[in-house]
Amino acid sequence: MGRLSQRRKVHKYVLGSEHPVRHKEDVLAVEEPLEIRLSTPLGGMTYSVTMRTPGDDFDLVAGFLVSEGVVWESGQLVSERFCAGEDEQGRQTFNVVDAQLRPGVPLPATGRNVYTSSSCGICGTESIEAVRRSSHHSPAGDGVRLLPELVAGLPARLRAAQALFDRTGGVHAAGLFSVGDDGTSAELLCLREDVGRHNAVDKVVGWALREGRLPLAGTVLQVSGRASFELVQKAAMAGIPVLAAVSAPSTLAVELAEESGVTLIGFSRGDGFNVYAGHERLVAS
């Protein structure tokens, strides 16, 4: 677990105490860059660099490629491997992943698609249209139904499974739950943690791609932070019908959820929540 967290010496201030400054160790979540390279029999390219918490890197890359529309089924991603790379001490960094695409899967024309960045400067209508053009798994027709009590209990279940957060207090989490046919039960299929909330979701989606589970019909994606446009986009691209967040959504996130058929839930904190889109999937007790 050394690559996930590190111990650092800190000066802890406790105001009003006999010894206001104390020396102690704190545990921090690791953050390192990951370079994503794509290769085919006809060539290759450096596609993107993202900052992430090391661990589940192959899931992260696979999920990132799903959210970008590069791949949408498991057979399109032939293999993933770490490329050679060393730090100043000569240790392998594991910070470069080469993803080999199946023959016939085209390389992107450029690097990362601009519509996945909230700071790219293009308008909301163009952003939503870009997702519509790239999506291969529409959640709009998903018939999943779920009780409000089930939804309200998911944040606590997510928090109980966050091992890295327990040590560091500094990572986001995304948990994928499979909903039972009657909407009264849910099984935690996959949980991933990362300093970036987008990375945590990509790791979950990448796990699903590598397990041959896409599209993710009948599932709920519970996340620990807010519901941004990018998170709704990632859910829609993976065919996830319900996205629940413990904090607020953005306006563009709500617009995309309405357009793509994703039920978007915010402020889900145990005793209630708000439904911003797709309320018809919630059924009475």
Q: Considering only CA atoms, which of 225, 113, 132 is closest in space to residue 172?
A: 225
Rounded Cα distance between 156 and 166, Å, is 13
Residues listed for the chain: 285
Rounded Cα distance between 195 and 199, Å, is 8
> Which residues make Cβ contacts (< 8 Å) with residue 281, sequence separation at least 6?
144, 145, 146, 241, 242, 263
Choose the catalytic residue: 83, 120, 123, 190: 120
120 is catalytic: yes
Q: Considering only CA atoms, which of 234, 201, 231, 235 is closest in space to residue 217?
A: 235
| Cβ contact 205:162 at 8 Å | no
DSSP 8-class letter at 102? P
**Residue positions annotated with a catalytic role:** 120
